[in-house]
Structure 1
Amino acid sequence: MDAEQTLHIDPANAAPPFEQLRAQLVATIASGGLVAGERLPTVRRLADDLGLATGTVARAYRELEASGIIETRGRAGSFVSLDRDPLRQQAQRAAAAFAEQIRGLGLDADEALALAAAALRAGA
């Protein structure tokens, strides 16, 4: 992965740099720009390439790892998760949590689906 060409941190963006980086890595993985098993740049190298503090990149990597999108293999580095589709798995977990919360609120499935569809349209 050529971080200088695919990733860019916008200082004028209201989102913190670690979140911009996290979101861009997720989008790159989702689009196939990074594939399962592909090694990510080291924290230090990516920080240097993007002009960020190493802690900023490390935080983005930690959050991606906590979501199951990447995995760290000790000194070998960080890699796109070997799970078949880590983004879909994360979406399935979010959907399951949503369904559980909706059931707890006593709403029916049709109303929940309408609410979810409206929320997704509003974010587009």
Structure 2
Amino acid sequence: MIVSVDPASAVPPYEQVRSGLARQINSGALAVGTKLPTVRGLAEELGIAPNTIARAYRELEEAGLIETRGRAGSFVASSGDESLSRAREAAETYAAVTRALGLSGEDALKIVRAALAH
């Protein structure tokens, strides 16, 4: 199984799928060019609605992590490596700004956690 969904989690199923795939793409566990399961196939495997998977795939595509090639399917995009690099750069910039403002690391992390929760 490529990802799993915990029905008891407070995190919506589409977000569990999206974040699980994003984590695997960014870590390299899912290599560039890897074909992803079809929306219907993954929905059936996970026992959730196809629209849930479709939403996760749309968000991954908008983030540049996957690309959909019509009837050929969805694949891990080469820009996935670029996305991780851009996120690292943004984090470094954020760290420099919060240090310059005199914020503690703990306060800076609280701000990030709040931003990610939205």
TM range (shorter): 0.7 to 0.9
Which contiguous aligned blocks of 4+ residues in structure 1 show a shift greater than 3 angstroms?
112-117, 120-123
Is residue 108 of structure 2 the alignment partner of residue 118 of structure 1? yes
Q: Which amino acid aligns with 1:68?
A: G
Match of 1:32 among 28, 31, 34: 28
The TM-score, its normalising length taken from structure 2, stands at 0.75
The residue type paired with residue 82 of structure 1 is: S
The letter of the residue matching 2:38 is: T
CA contact (8 A) 2:64 2:77 kept: yes
- The 8 Å contact of residues 25 and 80 in structure 2, kept in 1 or not, is answered as no
- CA separation of 1:35/1:108 partners in 2, compared to 1, >3 Å: closer, same or farther? closer
What code does the residue aligned with 2:24 have?
T
Identical columns (%): 47
- Structure 1 gaps of 5+ residues are 100-106
For 2:4, the equivalent position in structure 1 comes to: 8
Match of 1:66 in 2: 62
SS of structure 2 residue aligned to 1:85: helix
Q: Check whether the contact 2:98–2:108 (CA below 8 A) recurs between aligned residues.
A: no
Paired residue type of 2:60: L
What TM-score results when the alignment is normalised by the length of structure 1? 0.72
Counterpart of 1:23 in structure 2 is: 19
Q: How many residues align?
A: 110
Amino acid of the residue matched to residue 18 of structure 1? Y
- The unaligned stretches of length 5 or more in structure 2 are 114-118
